[in-house]
Structure 1
């Protein structure tokens, strides 16, 4: 009986008329081609079932298509932030976050995901999380239960016992330890497999100390070349990219030599590190905007003086080395470290990237085609052309004349659907 019912249902489905494709046409005054830096006037971007079907100048809107008319605006591809922490907020620094239950941070991640999408970041890379909060948020977005960007998620960041990516704030009686720490190449290979098992799409490792941990110095290397090589090799074996948190020059160079795809922060990159990155095509992912927020609001938010002192010591060096790396031709991607500062302020970093040496187009490319390349998603995100996701943003000015326009996005479209 059960078999016959299933067969009948299958026959009914096969005989049903196919559903018509969902077609959307987006029109505006102009579209920035981020690959060439030229504007397309009077663009008509046709999106079918979430993917761009055609891009024309002054073309006809297909009959029956839903039209999103953004007259008076400039269109760009949806933006990409390569260094985000969705399940955190800067308002809860130091020990203040311990007042909440674990699932509080899941709710925070839901809110931050929507915020990142609303300010124009249709794709983000989440590089470090606890309790697999963001893995669940990512699944809920994909299933349509909540609103947010496309997420490339790392789950827990790998590191050494007692290092930046371990639990460093609690006394021994708590026996607090990150489940992703390891102290040998083989242990860390296993950690890679565990994070991939639970949905990681990129592997992050902490090659050096950091600003917001205790008893770690940002400039000091914390994983050996052998350990870093094992992590990168294992990630690549499984078809994943590898990102290295690395402030100090020794850790940066070890991570580049180990084969990591991106270097996060790169604050104290020296001449050799910059040369190695350029030679090997390693991307620098440098968060050069958040320091003003941290130093002005951190103490009130509970950030410890130990951590504020580390931020004061490295912030200008990082900005100066951003300029040097860019001038030398290192490939750069947009990276905010959102959660160190409020997610809603992320777009303000474009202005600082231009202040420290980029042209407006280069800053935009860092958040579009460069980021897509670093993700291994060229042609899928970060561009508006056939085959790419129908992800667009609109601003009312000229972002090539004033990149600050990207801090005030007027409309966001993800997969052909306008975000309210």
Structure 2
């Protein structure tokens, strides 16, 4: 008994430790839940989470003061479509296999830091060629080994042979098995690979429903995974308390993915009116990367990216933006996602201006990257708003982003889980 009591006593200091209190003084605060901007607000943080938000008063005794009274503060931003754990897009289609795991890991660490410093404190990483590289990056960040956003990861792509989730255009046998982990041909295989991905640490599934712009030999409008294959994977995700998202450019692939039960559609470049109506009725989010078409055209042309990439980008960019405008007018749910990795990580916020140009108000664009994105993740009790109980993920910008979303391209302060990192 004495040994037991001694052990309990020894453990008490750790169990009863008082969380560090931080008091953030804001010039203005964007209340993304109400869609308004408030003045004179202060945020009390205990440890990693927000305790209270309200009119400024006397700071709690012993609290660390963060003086952001010159700035507008808002929740840490969320990008639902990133590729942190891989090499960036370029002219060399063999670069992913010619870059070894260690070097790719260092690249991922830099990408993660650049993303966090840009004010994106949470991301959904929607696929890497080398299976589970994203899991390792996520875990390294969570352990505090490297700085980066909170990550939710897919493990790799579930795709058909030679599909939009493959490295194509190389001699047979060139691509190693670890980069073809998610290749399937039947619903049973889709279910088995989905189980294997969750067993390896994936948080959700990424299904390649159509061809891709940036994949040799595939066409964006062409369906790839069948509805039955996607439905089998979705059932596995549901059994694990998770969900699937679908890469889908073409109209028929989009509709098949919605019928199969995915939570969100990535790109949605060629979505038609029926697909928009289906997405709205089913409560499916569209995550449309309406910025990077211009980046691909500009930089891809200068750097000599494959002509096939450039042709497909030109065929989808304008029509995607038209579909985005229709989706906004119809009230379809939209989450913020940029396809970072196609462009350099850290300039994610350039997309906000495009979202406003093509139909959103500044507040709607901000909400797409905060409260709406948190709902897509199923983590709206943890992230996406400055509110009691949420993680203290907070950023500071000069000016008022509810009037000019361009201010989000220059983040002056970043706090993640109560720790100021910038």
How far 1:144 moved relative to its partner? Answer: 1.0
> Which residue of structure 1 aligns with residue 111 of structure 2?
112
Once the two structures are superposed, the pairs formed by residues 12-91 of structure 1 within 5 Å of their partners are 12-14=10-12, 18-86=16-84, 87-91=86-90
CA separation of 1:286 and 1:93: change in aligned 2, threshold 3 A: farther
**Which ranges of structure 2 fall in alignment gaps of 5 or more residues?**
none
Deviation of 1:307 (Å): 1.1
8 A Cα contact 1:123 1:151, kept in partner: yes
**Cα distance 1:138–1:221, how it changes in 2: closer, same or farther (>3 A)?**
same
User: Relative to structure 2, which stretch is displaced further, 221-230 or 350-359?
Assistant: 221-230
The CA distance in 2 between the partners of 1:100 and 1:154, in whole Å, is 21
CA contact (8 A) 2:216 2:309 kept: yes
Say whether the 8 Å CA contact 1:106–1:134 is kept in structure 2: no
* Residues 44-103 of structure 1: per-residue CA shift (max 9 Å, x gap): 101111000000112321110111111211010000000000023235643345543232
Q: Is 181-190 or 125-134 further displaced after alignment?
A: 125-134
What TM-score, normalized to structure 1? 0.95
Confirm or deny: 8 A CA contact 1:110 1:146 kept in the other structure: yes
- In the other structure, the counterpart of 2:416 is 414
In 2, are the aligned partners of 1:93 and 1:301 still within 8 Å (CA)? no
| Aligned-partner Cα distance in 1 for 2:145–2:298 | 37
Native 8 Å contact 2:266 2:288 kept in 1 = yes
Q: 2:381: which partner in 1? A: 379
Count of residue correspondences:
418
Distance, in Å, in 2 between the alignment partners of 1:217 and 1:132 is 27
TM-score by length of 2: 0.95
SS at match of 1:190: helix
CA distance in 2, matches of 1:330, 1:370: 12
- Provide Cα deviations, 1:129-178, integer angstroms capped at 9, x if missing partner: 12322211111111111101100111101011111112323211436551
Measure the CA separation in 2 of the matches of 1:317 and 1:389: 38
Give the equivalent residue in structure 1 for 2:321.
319
Distance 2:15 2:90 in 1: 53
Partner of 1:162: 162
SS class of match (2:22): strand
SS in structure 1 opposite 2:365? helix
Whether the 8 Å CA contact 1:85–1:338 is kept in 2: the answer is: yes
Residues 245 and 12 from structure 1, CA distance in 2 versus in 1: closer, same or farther, beyond 3 angstroms? same
Alpha-carbon RMSD across the aligned residues, in angstroms, is 1.9
- Contact residue 170 and residue 176 of structure 1 kept, 8 A: no
